[in-house]
């Protein structure tokens, strides 16, 4: 599936296993609408542009705020570090530190370097989401 930055929410139904995938853009003008899509969210997939060091602080603040949302309690977090195929991009350790990921104790999380252009680790990320859902299936 090919997805590009969205100015409006985009939904796709992925099968085997069944996943409803929503892409809500990260532009500042859309952030006030994010709360409309939190209900029954099992996993939050947070995509970080590995080439954009200037926006990482904003990214950290937005993520920290989202993780405080009551309707996202219990949701796991997959951080996709996108554009890792680009030279001089941020690495996993830099993003982990700059987003304060190691301080997150309220949500299970993982970080995966990826490339939307080459497909690197996209399947692995979805497999992590599915396995996490299976692991939690009988916890509720």
Q: Which residues are catalytic?
A: 27
120 is annotated as contributing to ligand binding: no
125 is annotated as contributing to ligand binding: no
25 is annotated as contributing to ligand binding: no
42 is annotated as contributing to ligand binding: no
Say if residue 17 is preceded by a cis peptide, omega within 30 of 0.
yes
**Beta bridge partners of residue 56, listed in sequence order:** none
110 is annotated as contributing to ligand binding: no
CA distance 115 to 95: 15
Question: Would you state the structure tokens that stand for residue 80, as one six-digit string?
Answer: 């996709």
69-87: b or e for each residue (b if 16 or more CB lie within 10 Å)? eeebeebbbbbbbbbbeee
Annotated binding site for GTP: 26, 82-85
């Amino acid at each position: 599936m090919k997805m590009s930055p969205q100015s409006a929410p985009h939904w796709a139904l992925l099968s085997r296993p069944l996943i409803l995938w929503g892409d809500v853009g990260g532009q500042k003008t859309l952030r006030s609408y994010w709360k409309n899509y939190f209900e029954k969210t099992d996993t939050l997939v947070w995509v970080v542009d590995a080439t954009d060091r200037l926006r990482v602080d904003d990214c950290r603040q937005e993520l920290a705020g989202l993780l405080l949302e009551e309707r996202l309690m219990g949701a796991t977090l997959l951080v996709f570090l996108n554009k890792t195929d680009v030279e001089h991009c941020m690495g996993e350790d830099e993003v982990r530190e700059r987003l304060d990921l190691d301080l997150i104790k309220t949500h299970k999380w993982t970080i995966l370097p990826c490339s939307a252009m080459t497909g690197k680790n996209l399947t692995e990320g979805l497999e992590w989401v599915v396995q996490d859902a299976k692991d939690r299936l009988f916890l509720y």
